Amino acid sequence: MLLDRAVDRYLRHISIERGLSAHTVEAYRRDLAGYAAWLRDHGVEDPAAVTQDMVAEFAAERAASDPPPAPSSLARLQSSVRGLHRFLAREGIVEEDPASRLVPPKQPQKLPKALTIEQVEQLLRAPSGEDPIGLRDRALLELLYATGARVSEAIALDVDDVQAGDVLRLRGKGDKERIVPIGSFAREAIDAYLTRVRPALAAKGSATPRLFLGARGRPLSRQSAWLVIQKAAEAAHLSAHVSPHTLRHSFATHLLQGGADVRVVQELLGHASVATTQIYTHVSADTLREMYQTAHPRAV
């Protein structure tokens, strides 16, 4: 099997069988296109001819490139290469996996930035409660903070997804569904938007089941949702950087600070592994440490 055909087969596998998002598949496609080009420059067209030394040399060259790649980009690149060769070996297309000994780069742990409860309240109060777009924006912000949804999950919601009282259904990574509670403040904001705003917006565009609509009646885009949050942050005079993920981080951090079990937060966030969720426990620990050092007479 030629290299390009092997790459295409692997990409179909992660898209269809593993259900990875289109964004992730496209990132893997770019990484593997560069890897395949590198192999062809070294005279390799057949994946069965790839050796461990070749894989190691490719990884070393990319790590030493100028400017150096971000650790996350390098880790994803190596993950793409390892995944390709592991798939080819498992399918019996090649006899051995030449990337089995490739050690992924260690990434520095970045603690997520969370807003304080007071800052979140300022943000949620920022959109006007009178004009239609302000009501829509408040509903979106309240939903993001109430559920910890990713912005992609929020804008993918249909009206039917929020009709079941105090819970809603989110479709996360890999098209996995999860049910999350929705608080009274978010419920009230969504109901106001559905009753007073969405019918008029829907009349401006073609029929769509999407919950959140733009001014022309079309489904709200990721970019538009990002702008909603930026506009609210500016109106609230928040100096901290605020992104769609900031509300997700704040949701998790405030739950843990309030005593929620980390495995419950894992389920609410839709994390496949509790290890991903545990990074938020470090945020809470930092908060506790800061309070201790401020309040205890012999802390410092």
- Is 101 catalytic? The answer is no
For residue 230, the number of C-alpha atoms closer than 13 Å in the C-beta half-sphere is 6
Q: Which of 173, 178, 222, 231 is catalytic?
A: 173
Amino acid at residue number 104: P
Q: Among candidates 253, 263, 255, 264, which has minimal Cα distance to 287?
A: 253
Contact 100, 86 (CB under 8 A): yes
Q: Which of 62, 150, 249, 254 is catalytic?
A: 150
- Is 280 catalytic? The answer is yes
How large is the angle between the packed helices 22-41 and 52-63, nearest 10 degrees? 110
- Is 150 catalytic? The answer is yes
Q: Tell me which long-range contacts 61-65 makes (C-beta under 8 A, separation of at least 24).
A: 63/105
- Is 173 catalytic? The answer is yes
Q: Which of 82, 248, 249, 254 is catalytic?
A: 248
- Is 176 catalytic? The answer is no
CA distance 169 to 161: 5
Q: Which residues pair with 154 in a beta bridge?
A: none
- Catalytic positions, please? 150, 173, 245, 248, 271, 280
